[in-house]
Amino acid sequence: LTNWSYWFNLPDADPSGVTCHRILHHLKPFHDLKPFSIEPLSGSYLDLLGWAQMAHAAPSCQKTGLANPRFPIYLQSYHATAQKQLYDHFSSATRGSSPFNNSLCMVEGYSMQGVQRVDSSTTAFAFRKDSLLVASLVQYSSAGPERDEQTKQLGN
């Protein structure tokens, strides 16, 4: 199973603030989140950066003066209830006039047999036993220490 999803705001399409959820391959628990958009895509490995909006020309890769801290969590298994809680929290914290409304959260799960076969003591990659990555990228204009602390609270 491969799951690769991004949760972000798309006010032009849905001004009420529902978080979009892009999925390449998905499970029923993700559909149960009632995403605004599902876009099944197919292509080569070279297409991934464009789909993820992480290509050189993507907004997240531009120098705009915004802060972009990332808060990764590596997990060993899915927990649909916890993911729903994360979805609800992230959505409510980033919608509307929130200073974090350009943020996104990604959930990535991959087939890891090849990665996990390698002895972790022989490599620099620290997360060989984990199968999932959940990471928020909190994008905001820094307004001083108070805003930075709010960012840490949201990200952690």
How many angstroms separate the CA atoms of 123 and 100, rounded? 36
How many CB atoms sit inside 10 A of residue 4's CB? Answer: 19
37-68 pLDDT per residue, tens: 667 777 777 887 787 777 888 776 788 888 98
pTM: 0.68
Q: Which residue has the higher pLDDT, 87 or 21?
A: 87
Confidence category of residue 145, pLDDT binned at 50, 70, 90: very high
How many angstroms separate the CA atoms of 30 and 91, rounded? 15
Which of 8-12, 16-20, 62-66, 115-119 bottoms out in mean pLDDT, i.e. has the lowest? 16-20
